[in-house]
Structure 1
Amino acid sequence: MVRFLKRTAWTRGRVTAILALLVALLLLFPSLVPSALGNPGGLIENFLPWLGVPILPLLALAVLRRSASALSAVLVAVVVWVAVFGPSLLPRDPGAHDLTVVQHNVSDVNRDPAATARTLIDADPDLIALEELTRRALPAYERALRGPYPHHVVVGTVGLWSRYPLTETAAADIRPGAITGEWSRGLRAVVRVAPQRDIAVYVAHLPSVRIRPGSGFDTRWRDESAALLGEKIADEDSTTVILAGDLNGTTRDRGLTPLTSQLDSAAEDFEFSWPTAFPVARIDQVMTRGAAVVDVRTLPETGSDHLPVVARIRLGGERSHAAACHPGAGAVQPGPCHPLGHPCPTTATAGQIVATTCSAKSAGTSRPIRR
């Protein structure tokens, strides 16, 4: 005679319970998923917040089955998700900041560069980093940004516009070995935000990633480019470094470890920047060394498939807000004083830079300086 044990609330729903615990495990330890066999680990890391979505149907199944074990496991998954991502949902005051940086992949098929530039200007940033600049669209960006951002440099398809003088500019070679032909998607510039205060700024557009039937989540070119960029930043002499770019990955992606291991970013997990139609991940990043990213937000959509990202940065203590805003520090004050002031540059030395002469009464005039 076969005796059947009556299922109880603790023995029902074991499959649901196992799935819920698996979700909790992935949320806590995504690095346990291997990179081999199509790189599922990297894919999960890029979309990690979305692991909260399957928790809802698992909860419904647990209720329908009246399973205490499944409900307990789902509760564990909920607690883990809230612990990992809840802080990003809480309102908080970022406090004081010294610089505002806008990062935007403007798209090489953007039909209205002038309108895109106006959206970026409205955020009142100090630095604007752009990717996917084309020869056809570049003049429109230069015209629109020339007034408030008199200093700029463009290398290949990436560019940097600044309120502050650029004392050095150069290409940053991050091209993977397998890519041939014209390909220039990195630059380095030194921004002089105040006398005796220089910041090294990198603008980069890492190669795209692909999901392919044969190779899965293919990130090889991007990872190689990230490693090259990481080497340059590791060798950087400047105390303060800012990296702004389309990195084609989130800061949780293991392929970006050469960058995330030495640069900091804000833990704003839900300020998704891509794609514009339904943003699912923030692959546009502003990261720092020797400074703190205190806030990250997205701006309204432009003609790009990426949303612009605006980051507020607090610099180290080499120069206080009060000292920078004091008239004796050599700052101009065309309105409310900028935290670091607007230093009056006299010369610039490199590339496609527009230098500004200014006085205590006006922002002055601009003139192009060419090599």
Structure 2
Amino acid sequence: MAQADRAAAPADGAVGRGADASGGGAGLRRGRGWSLGRDDRGRSGWRRGWILALLAVLTAALLAFHSEVPNSVGNLGSLLETFLPWAGLAVPVLLLLALWRRSASALVALLLPTVVWLNLFGGLLTDKGSGKGDFTVLTHNVAAANADVSGTVKLLNDSGAQIVALQELAGKPLRSYETGLAGTYPFHVVQNTVGLWSKFPISGVAVVDIRMGWTRAFRAQVTTPQGPVAVYVAHLPSVRVKSEGGFTAERRDVSAQALGDAVQAEPLKKVLLLGDLNGTMNDRSLAPVTSQMRSAQGAAGDGFGFSWPASLPMARIDQILSKGGLKPTDSWVLGADGSDHRAVAAAYRYQ
């Protein structure tokens, strides 16, 4: 019986080692919590998560060198630049994965896209408004299919803007805008589907040929109490993302060049451009315009000022730009109405 007991019993010290391995060891692993120490395979935090670290570096490179992404294939460069701020969402996703993998290399690598993103867009996160201006301007693509024209008219009348540019005007809705805005804006001009309403006199109206075959841009002189301002109203061609052909923006790019040429040739020094440009300030294809004008949102806004689509704005494609002695003092986005765009406004000080 004693021999059987000895045979069944483990070797001397085996019970202690087993307890340490199963009970004590597990207890130690649970007790030490999250750390960047070695994993069960003996790898340190610096040897884990190299794929995540590489993805972080690639994200930083994409942000920093977005202008190098070619447009020759499906206009991929312009497509990326249209939604460029959203590339920063890769950072929190990779951060969570890096923490889950307990990867020191990935955590350090994530500093790169974070710094680059903040360098590009960090300035938009603060309110740069400097107070009330001499006058306020507003632009809005009211949408031809607007199901609440009366609501849009009320939005415009209540906006406090002295100069209002509208796009996608047509048919019966146009007559509604003309009659509905007449009491607030005694001066207005409409050229095909784009129009300008003003509390100040309008003169010198001329169509701007943006190579579309019909009128979607014009120039006018608005005489404010502080002096004359050349106001350009434009609606550049729409862009589409298609399975074949990618980001179809060629027509818009041609129009942007023509519009930029017209603005550059403007004899007045103080110039405003209001309209739906179907592109963002980051999009290289709008450089003929954006290289010579500054954005009110970038100079005096608070946040990104996304204007499209109205239900969940993801891009600022409705622009208020200026050049000459006009200083933007504030910029904001209005609430949603019956359009698929949101109206944007800015206050300016005449210098």
TM bucket (normalised to shorter chain) is 0.7 to 0.9
**Alignment counterpart, residue 155 of structure 1, candidates 191, 196, 201:** 191
- The structure with the largest helix share of the pair is 2
**Alignment counterpart, residue 86 of structure 2, candidates 50, 58, 61:** 50
Displacement of 1:64: 1.4
**Alignment counterpart, residue 115 of structure 2, candidates 72, 79, 97:** 79
Contact 2:130 2:330 in 1 (8 A): yes
Contact 1:264 1:292 in 2 (8 A): no
Q: Summarize deviations over 1:85-131 as a string: whole Å, max 9, x none.
A: 22212234423412211100000011222220110121200100000
Pairing 1:289–2:323 present = yes
Partner of 1:275: 309
One-letter amino acid matched to 2:215: S
Q: Which whole-Å CA distance do the structure 2 matches of 1:309 and 1:92 have between them?
A: 16
Q: Which whole-Å CA distance do the structure 2 matches of 1:302 and 1:166 have between them?
A: 27
Partner of 1:211: 241
Q: Give the stretch that moved more between structures: 236-245 or 60-69.
A: 60-69
Query: Within 5 Å, which residues of 2 pair with 1:198-277?
Result: 198-265=228-295, 266-267=297-298, 268=301, 270-277=304-311
Partner of 1:193: 224
Q: What SS does the aligned partner of 1:285 have? A: strand
Taking only the aligned residue pairs, the percentage that are identical comes to 47
Q: Give the stretch that moved more between structures: 80-89 or 149-158.
A: 80-89
Q: Which whole-Å CA distance do the structure 2 matches of 1:71 and 1:17 have between them?
A: 7
Q: Which whole-Å CA distance do the structure 1 matches of 2:79 and 2:350 have between them?
A: 33
Query: Within 5 Å, which residues of 2 pair with 1:100-111?
Result: 100-111=136-147
Q: Give the stretch that moved more between structures: 240-249 or 68-77.
A: 68-77
Q: Summarize deviations over 1:312-369 as a string: whole Å, max 9, x none.
A: 12222xxxxxxxxxxxxxxxxxxxxxxxxxxxxxxxxxxxxxxxxxxxxxxxxxxxxx
TM-score, structure 1 as length reference: 0.79
Contact 2:307 2:342 in 1 (8 A): yes
Displacement of 1:214: 2.0
One-letter amino acid matched to 1:237: P
Pairing 1:97–2:150 present = no
Q: Which whole-Å CA distance do the structure 1 matches of 2:330 and 2:249 have between them?
A: 28
**Alignment counterpart, residue 210 of structure 2, candidates 157, 174, 188:** 174
Q: Give the stretch that moved more between structures: 222-231 or 23-32.
A: 23-32
Q: What SS does the aligned partner of 2:62 have? A: helix
Displacement of 1:38: 1.2
Partner of 1:355: none
Contact 2:280 2:315 in 1 (8 A): yes
One-letter amino acid matched to 1:139: R
**Alignment counterpart, residue 63 of structure 1, candidates 81, 99, 103:** 99
Contact 1:40 1:217 in 2 (8 A): yes
Contact 2:129 2:331 in 1 (8 A): no
Contact 2:185 2:198 in 1 (8 A): yes
One-letter amino acid matched to 2:225: A
One-letter amino acid matched to 2:260: G
Displacement of 1:6: 5.3
Q: What SS does the aligned partner of 1:50 have? A: helix
Q: Give the stretch that moved more between structures: 82-91 or 269-278.
A: 82-91
Contact 2:132 2:330 in 1 (8 A): no
Contact 1:276 1:305 in 2 (8 A): yes
One-letter amino acid matched to 1:310: A
One-letter amino acid matched to 1:273: S
Q: Which whole-Å CA distance do the structure 2 matches of 1:120 and 1:86 have between them?
A: 31
Displacement of 1:29: 2.4
Contact 1:287 1:293 in 2 (8 A): no
Q: Summarize deviations over 1:201-251 as a string: whole Å, max 9, x none.
A: 000000000112221111100000011111111111001000000000011
One-letter amino acid matched to 2:305: E
Partner of 1:340: none
One-letter amino acid matched to 2:333: T
Q: Summarize deviations over 1:264-316 as a string: whole Å, max 9, x none.
A: 11315521100011110010000001123332211011110000101112222
Q: How many residues align?
A: 306
One-letter amino acid matched to 1:220: E
Q: Which whole-Å CA distance do the structure 1 matches of 2:220 and 2:106 have between them?
A: 55
Q: Which whole-Å CA distance do the structure 2 matches of 1:143 and 1:220 have between them?
A: 37
Q: Give the stretch that moved more between structures: 122-131 or 260-269.
A: 260-269
Give 1 or 2 for the bigger CA radius of gyration.
2
